[in-house]
Amino acid sequence: MTRLNDLFQTEGQSPWLDNLRRSWLESGELADWVTKGVRGITSNPSIFEKAMADTDDYDHEFKELIASGKDVTECYWDLVITDILGALEVLKPVYESSNGTDGFVSVEVDPRLARDTSGTLDSARSLHKRINKPNVLIKIPATKESIPPVQTMISEGRSVNVTLIFSLSRYVEVMEAYISGLENSSGDLSKISSVASFFISRTDTEVDRRLDEIGSQKATDLKGQAAVALGQAAYSLFKETFSGPRWEALESRGARVQRPLWASTSTKNPSYVDTLYVDTLIGPNTVNTLPNTTIEAFEDHGTVARTVDANSSKAEKILSEISSLGIDLEEVGDVLETEGIDSFITSFENLIESLSIKASSF
């Protein structure tokens, strides 16, 4: 029994792997991760940049695609979808044995469309139709412009991973989009799934920087606490939202809760415990998507216990104290959202450039 299995079986949290590469599919390593307790997979442009640009694993298929007359961007999506389809097949037994609760693989729309409402919706629909598997989640960023496509996708019966959530106010909007989408759907609600990806570690990186600028003892004492407190506050909102008459009416039609997914859970500050963002956010109806290095650390010395709502009042106190120092956590969320989108766009464009260079050498 692994700690990953314990997370799910004793505390109701689903550990997902935040990584995907062609060699893992071909060698069986991805299947090994599933055997160890991984119950889903997430991908993003940065992950594919590392996988494709730093290895020659994709060169054979890429060369064939270029020879067929496709342009580099079309080739990129073909390569991505080949990986996604392979991963979906590996996770299919988990999807079936969990009755559609887990076994998902996430693939992100073109990050350059994050501020384009119609472009995001068109891209999301196209990806969903092209992959056409029940256990795929289409990743849509939680920007103001992309919230309406989330609602539309859900109303059309398409499962979604809403990503790049950094603030409590935006998280409320994401949950509302999901619930409204379900209310507008005439289909089988039990076939619709969604997770809301709340990014964790980047919050500490930005808030700690601002606390350092303040420089007081109180500010120093609060370092490394904002991200976990924000995640725990988000979980309180989750429990509040997915209860009561409005939700019960949807639940009676077979609807599933939109689980909070803790993303960006590797510690960026080497002085923090490397399992900080796992140990402190464990609880039922949640997902934690972990890089393989963080999984290895958690397996070695992580702690399995329900912690995400063990002390909600402490989380509220920490957030209040941070705000009292003049740090606006909503503004922090806006900054991190922009940085997150820019980072994914950079990864996407760098990869297209790398592939273009490769193509010119064929």
Annotated catalytic residues are 139
d(CA 134, CA 138): 11
Distance from C-alpha of 151 to C-alpha of 117, rounded to nearest angstrom:
12
HSE, CB side, 13 Å, CA atoms: give it for residue 147: 14
For residue 141, list its beta bridge partners.
163
Q: Would you say 241 and 175 are in contact if contact means Cβ atoms under 8 Å apart?
A: yes
Per-position b or e across 278-313, b if 16+ CB within 10 A of its CB? bbbbbbebbbbbbeeebbebbeeebebeebbbeeee
What distance in Å separates the CA atoms of residue 113 and residue 141, rounded to the nearest whole number?
9
- Helix (H/G/I), strand (E/B), else coil: 74: helix
Rounded CA gap, 63 and 61, in Å?
5
Backbone φ and ψ for 138, nearest 5 degrees, come out as -90, 120
Q: List CB contacts of 62: < 8 A, sequence separation 6 or more.
A: 75, 79, 355, 358, 359
Furthest-apart CA atoms within the chain: distance in Å? 63
Q: What is the DSSP letter of 254?
A: T
> What does each C-alpha distance from 99 to 93, 102, 195, 248, 270 come to in angstroms?
10, 8, 16, 20, 39
Query: Whose CA is closest to 142, among 185, 109, 179?
Result: 109
